[in-house]
Amino acid sequence: MCPGTERLYRIAVFPEEERYVFAYTVTIRNLGRSQVQLLGRYWLITNGHGRETEVQGEGVVGEQPHIPAGGEYQYTSGAVIETPLGTMQGHYEMIDIDGAPFRIEIPVFRLAVPTLIH
């Protein structure tokens, strides 16, 4: 089991309010031989000034999906930060078919207004 790639999906910019809204899409692929379930997630979101926000909770987008062997699960969610540049990283809390817990690390990825990065 390994996470797929994260990609920027949509951005809404409100610089006068110091609010930058980013949407991202994540695909989780189950490369194992048995079904797994996503129980929870943890995100560390860092804005361009280094301010960190932690987000954790059950499932993703209101679901705790079961992912069959060889299957995948994709969802889109979002983050709001106060700067036009930031990062996200974290992990998913999972269980296998026998109920054994494990964690999938999510490597850091960038949140950036497209005009900032060439």
Q: What is the mean pLDDT of the chain?
A: 89
pTM above 0.85, yes or no: no
**Other C-beta atoms lying within 10 Å of the C-beta of residue 111:** 26
Q: Hunting for tokens 């106060």 — which residue is that?
A: 82
pLDDT tens per residue, range 94-105: 999 999 999 999
Q: How far apart are alpha carbons 107 and 57 in whole angstroms? A: 18
Extract the tokens encoding 78. Answer: 């979002």
| Phi and psi angles of residue 115, each rounded to the nearest 5 degrees, phi first | -70, -10
Confidence class for position 2, pLDDT limits 50, 70, 90: very low
Domains belonging to the chain, first-starting first, are 2-109 (2.60.40.1470)
pLDDT tens per residue, range 59-94: 999 999 999 999 999 999 999 999 999 999 999 999
Q: Number of helices (H) and strands (E) in the chain: give both, helices first.
A: 0, 8
Q: What per-residue string of b and e applies to 77-99 under the rule 16 or more CB within 10 Å gives b?
A: eebebebbbbbbebbbbbbeeee
